[in-house]
Structure 1
Amino acid sequence: MEIALHVTRFNLPDGPAALPAALTAAAGAAEQAGFSTLTLMDHWFQMEMPDTAATDPMLEGYTTLGYLAGQTRQMTLGLLVTGVTYRHPGLLAKIVATLDVLSGGRAMLGVGAAWYEREHNGLGVPFPPVADRFERLEETVQICRQMWGPDNGPYTGRHYQLAETVCVPAPIQQPGPPILIGGSGEKKTLRLVARYADACNLFAFEFGEVERKLEVLARHCETEGRDPSEIRRTILTLNDPLDDPDAFLAAMEQYAKLGVGQVWVTPTVPDSASWVEQVGERVVPRLRDL
């Protein structure tokens, strides 16, 4: 099983000026430790949780990935996940294609239906009803696929109309960067995963729930006439693997039996680099054998 690093917090004791060095150190430690992927959240405001506030520091995702593309050489780079409302799909396709070119073919597109209404209202960005957002999500994936391919013609959808889907230079990865659709909604999200995605990502709160969601995905794949093995199964855990490495690895062994091939972990301390180094020493070699 592969391990991925998900960076979600940017409040450092020394303030924003320390962020470039801290991100560089964390990314370098992750590559050295054998992490396969590095992702950030795609938010304008920090999420409101018991220990975080909307006014906490939050970096714009794709700008940060562009910076990290120059600091890394091996890891896949992406956002977990881009809200479909945050960027016009034509612009999003161009941004991800640019990241893929400048990173040497290491971009991924993580995308979802968006949910954080406060940041939309705060910055004056329209936040359509949930049904519309899912329709926009489907059209966005279609537009990205078209822009990354040879068809430069128009795209006409219910929500988006593009006169020309020109994207030059094209992504290095062909037929384009892998697309991960985030979320676990059984009626809409997992159906879109079965229809379009290269990967899914589920919250690893309970093993039985992940198992059931993957069964739902398999049924959608059958309806769509698609082999479920074509879709990479990944999970995001909020548990710190350093709290109890043996218990963490035992849980991951069970997920591996479901066909899960990658787990995202999130640093729990401001000094992400040292945390990543410890995970690399105590967890990664054993996780790789699962």
Structure 2
Amino acid sequence: MIGAEPLPFSITLEPQEGETYQDVLAVARRVEALGFAGLYRSDHYAPVWGGEGLASTDAWATLAGLARDTERITIGTMVSPVTFRPAANLAKVTATVAQMAGAVDGRSRVHVGLGTGWLQAEHTMFGFPFDDLGTRFRRLEEHLQVLRGLWDPQIPRFRFDGEFEQLRDAVFAAKPDPVPRIVLGGSGPRRSAGLAARYADEMNTPFPTPASFRALRAALDEACAAAGREPIPLTVTAVCVLGADEAEFRRRAERLHARIGDRPLDEWLAQRSGTWVLGTPDRALEHLTGLVEAGAAGFSLQHLLPDDLDMLDLLAESVAARLGDIRPAATAPDRAV
């Protein structure tokens, strides 16, 4: 690994692309057995890449199942649109899943990733509000404020009079202990970094290059200083397609391209080569090392071939074990319940 601190490696799934709970659970169990830090999932009600009619599952209902069906890994959303749920509802749902999951090493096994929401089609389809981006950012800030207020053990009755959220002497019992981790998803150096610096425990950015990551890291550091806080971790989400050799990589890339490709394979891969983790383990390590040197504090790698568990083995053994923090399940601590 690089540096003194181990780098957490997690896996993110996109179950709105036709995955059932059993599909998600199979990946979660392999992720836990291999020693990855966490298993996260997207929060969408409609497919992002696939065609109309693909089955989807509710993110937080799925996480409640994983809370009982796994023992050690962190679970959560990457990320939940604040347009989907009232803030108080999201606070209660997250706290309930955290209670079901228990804690490991004194830390909650649950994190809640938050974002503005971006897929207009699913908002229109299901009746979720989808305002202009500035309005969605104001809604995001109110969600962050409400979650922090309701979970604060020093605030027995929480009042909030916002543009979108109104709470009147809300008694939130029981307060989650330990408190779930709040992760803000985004890439903007001003609004996203500013909100993360004021309210979040971590910021996660999707598909950066080392150069764009370094610039965002600097902006986040500046925002944290302005908020009177020490710098918070900045982590990376990226699609990962690996092969033990070039031939195996091409086979996996062809499978994924058949599902979501929008141009010839080689052109499609070239367009993504700077922001996705692609190729053999050595190529993946080169890409990830550049991000670590730019300040990345961890990785959540999107696994878009969920029936291919062998690729997770390769990632754990040939990439994460050489760069990050991998703890085999046999050495995992007991879960506190």
- TM-score of the aligned structures, taking structure 1 as reference length: 0.89
* Structure 2 CA distance for aligned equivalents of residues 160 and 258 of structure 1: 38
Of the three residues 149, 167, 173, the one matched with 1:168 is 173
Task: Say whether residues 1:203 and 2:239 are aligned partners.
Answer: no
Deviations 1:34-61 (A, max 9, x none): 11011111111011x3xx2343222110
Q: Confirm whether residue 236 of structure 1 aligns to residue 237 of structure 2.
A: yes
Per the alignment, residue 254 of structure 1 pairs with: 290
After the TM superposition, which residues 119-198 of structure 1 pair with which residues of structure 2 at under 5 Å, given as runs? Answer: 119-150=122-153, 151=155, 152-173=157-178, 176-198=179-201
Report the AA paired with residue 295 of structure 2.
G
Give the distance between the partners of 2:225 and 2:177, measured in 1 at CA: 31
Q: Aligned with 2:189: secondary structure?
A: coil
> Which residue does the alignment assign to 1:275?
311
CA contact (8 A) 1:11 1:270 kept: no
Distance 1:144 1:72, change over 3 A: same
Quick one: structure 1 residues 20 and 223, their matched pair in 2 at CA, closer, same or farther if it must change by over 3 Å? closer
- Could you tell me how far apart the structure 1 residues matched to 2:11 and 2:40 are? 6
Aligned twin of 1:114: 117
Tell me the C-alpha RMSD between the 2 structures: 1.9
Query: What aligned pairs does 1:44-123 form with structure 2 within 5 A after superposition?
Result: 44-47=45-48, 49=49, 52-104=50-102, 105-123=108-126
Contact 2:16 2:44 in 1 (8 A): no
- Any idea what SS the aligned residue of 1:209 has? helix
- 1:9 and 1:98, CA in 2 relative to 1: closer, same or farther beyond 3 A? closer
Structure-2 separation of matches of 1:11 and 1:65: 17
Q: How far has the Cα of 1:272 moved from its partner?
A: 4.1
Greater mean alpha carbon deviation, residues 162-171 or residues 184-193: 162-171
Amino acid at match of 1:128: D
Deviation digits for residues 209-265 of structure 1 (CA, Å, limit 9, x no counterpart): 11111111122222222221xx11100112324431111112222222233121111
Rounded to whole Å, the distance in 2 between the matches of 1:205 and 1:213 is: 9
Deviation at 1:87, TM superposition (A): 0.1
State the 1:22 CA deviation.
2.6
Q: What's the TM-score, normalizing by structure 2?
A: 0.78
Offset of residue 129 of structure 1: 2.1
Alignment gaps of 5+ in structure 2: 1-6, 103-107, 244-278, 327-337
In 2, the alpha carbon distance for the partners of 1:274 and 1:239 equals 13
Matches of 1:116 and 1:26, distance apart in 2: 25
Cα distance in 2 for partners of 1:194, 1:282 equals 34
Find the aligned partners of 1:205 and 1:149 in 2 and give their Cα distance: 33
Shift of residue 204 of structure 1?
Answer: 3.2
Alpha carbons 2:14, 2:304 under 8 Å: kept:
no
Instruction: Work out whether 1:26 is the aligned partner of 2:20.
Output: no
Q: Please say which of residues 124-133 and 135-144 is displaced more in the overlay.
A: 124-133
Give, in whole Å, the separation in 2 of the partners of 1:145 and 1:10: 29
Which amino acid is the alignment partner of residue 87 of structure 2?
P
Aligned to 1:55, the other structure's residue is in SS state: coil
- 1:218 corresponding residue in structure 2: 221
**Secondary structure, in 3 states, of the residue corresponding to 1:45?**
coil
The answer to whether residue 14 in structure 2 is matched with residue 8 in structure 1 is yes
What amino acid is aligned across from residue 79 of structure 2 in structure 1? V
Cα 1:10–1:220, aligned 2, differ >3 Å: closer, same or farther? closer
Aligned partners of 1:225, 1:255: CA distance in 2, in Å? 26
1:110 counterpart SS class:
strand
Q: Deviations over 1:70-115 (max 9, x none)?
A: 1111111110001011000000000010011100031101001111
Aligned length: 278
Distance 1:188 1:11, change over 3 A: closer
Larger Rg computed on CA atoms? 2
| Map of 2:253 onto structure 1 | none
For residues 120 and 249 of structure 1, the distance between their equivalents in structure 2, rounded to whole angstroms, comes to: 38
Q: Is the 8 A contact 2:15 2:41 kept in 1?
A: no
Task: Report % sequence identity.
Answer: 29
